[in-house]
Amino acid sequence: MLRDAVQYAMLMRVNRPNRHFAVLVVVAAAVFAGCASDTSSGTPTTAKPTVTSAPEASATPDSTTVAAKSVTTESVTTESATSEPVVTEPATTESVVVAPADVRARPSAGCGTDAAVPGETLVAEPDLARPGRALEILPSAYDGVTPLPLVFDLHGYQSPLEIERLMSNFSAVGEREGFVVVTPQIDNVVPRWDATIGSADVAFIGQLLDRELATHCIDQARVYAAGLSNGAFMASAVACDLSARVAAVGTVAGIRDLDGCTFARPVPVVAFHGTADTFVSYDGGFGPSVANLPTDDGGTLGTGAVLPSGPSVEEIAAAWARRNGCNADPPTSTEVAVDVKLLAFDCPADATVELYRVTGGGHAWPGSAFSTSIASVVGTTTLSIDATELMWSFFVAHPLQGSNP
């Protein structure tokens, strides 16, 4: 029922762009209340990784564990972006990630002057480079004095911020770990991003960051961006244009190697992508599902939007690694679950490039119960790993280097 309700609400959202999508989901659920629902694969049942952040300037985080939800014996191999593994060596499933202790918090201008209290606020942004809005979530740990990390959570094509919030569940992790979450959206009829270098949409994110730093107490050494699909394209663009300000990024179903991208500094990235994605093809190009995506005039993108070839996801990750100054050797491949391998490039500690390859995975957010509930739209969602938890662990380990006063 939820799957059908969300699909129905998506159609309603296209025709009613000024209504809150979350309300439409509820309404649509009522419409489909009498219909039989599909059987979902359930929600994750194993323990999530324990993650410790260090929002305070004087704090040093404990070690954090990044592991698959089911710990199994695995192997590590070295493989090229386009070939089969060629070297095998033993490894264990669990790895420990420790945030650099020498990177202290950098309080923003809003520290000590902000009277805001923890909670959620939907803020209209009519005067930025593009008119839009942003859902701002301050965790219970927010006191206006202690600088906290900030994560931008960027929605996908056609999926408004209300859906992205459900998809990623960053708000729950932010509440537990003590970081601010901002989920923005441009005022387009069909929610989407212009993820090109120097676009007004990227400027919108930069200006939104300016406002957050000026009005709230944010740790400028720990600003991150994450996104799904078109939002992952956007996170890739943000990494290019705001590389001096954004410490690291995470992408789901959409890491990009954008034309004209240059980094002021290496930008660490952790990416997730399913091999059965029918929107953004793992092997390159755009799959058949993009033909059905809506346009502002009520039509669809059509078959002309389908691209049968292009750089593969692994080739894109390799290009990012080259830009970060990583070793040119093929990445190692670590089996973290039956259906998930971690491809890791040989990079400096402040330039890490990692790709989680999900065998049989769709255009989906790993570990997301919401993603699982709309399988008819996105395909298979693995529950072997949790992309949100793994992203946060990755972010904790990659503050903005060289940011000490």
Question: Strands 74-78, 332-337: parallel, antiparallel or unpaired by DSSP?
Answer: antiparallel
Give the number of other CB atoms < 10 A from CB of residue 393.
26
* Per-residue model confidence (pLDDT) at position 401: 84
Domain ranges of the chain: 1-39, 48-396
Measuring CA to CA, which residue among 272, 202, 271, 182 is closest to residue 243? 202
Task: Give me the pLDDT at residue 278, please.
Answer: 98
Looking at residue 102, its pLDDT comes to 78
**Dihedral angle, C-alpha 377, 378, 383, 386, nearest 10 °:** -130
Rounded to an integer, what distance in angstroms lies between the CA atom of residue 388 and that of residue 169? 7
Close Cβ partners of 89 (under 8 Å, ≥ 6 residues apart): 75, 76, 77
DSSP3 helix / strand / coil % (the chain, rounded to 5): 25, 20, 50
- Extract the tokens encoding 19: 């209504």
Tell me: domain 48-396, CATH 3.40.50.1820, correct? yes
Predicted pLDDT of residue 333: 98
Query: What backbone phi and psi angles, to 5 degrees, belong to 362?
Result: -95, -155
Q: Looking at beta carbons, which pairs linking 301-310 to residues 24 or more positions away fall under 8 Å?
A: 309/284, 309/285, 310/281, 310/284, 310/285, 310/286
Which residue's entry shows tokens 């056609």?
158
Q: Which residues pair with 354 in a beta bridge?
A: 270, 344
Residue 26: other Cβ atoms inside 10 A: 13
Query: Closest Cα to residue 201, out of 240, 166, 174, 165?
Result: 240
Q: What is the C-alpha to C-alpha distance for residues 172 and 182, in angstroms, rounded to an integer?
A: 13
In which element (H, E) is residue 354 found? strand 353-358
Q: Please state, in angstroms and rounded to a whole number, the distance separating the CA atoms of residues 237 and 54.
A: 27
Q: What does the alpha-carbon distance between residue 186 and residue 202 come to, in Å, rounded to a whole number?
A: 11
Which among 215, 201, 199, 189 is positioned nearest to 136, based on CA atoms?
A: 215
Task: Please list the rounded mean pLDDT of every run of 10 residues in the chain (405 residues).
Answer: 42 38 38 35 37 36 37 41 37 40 89 94 94 97 97 97 97 98 97 97 97 97 98 98 97 97 96 98 98 97 96 98 96 98 96 98 98 97 98 95 59
**Residue type for position 70:** S
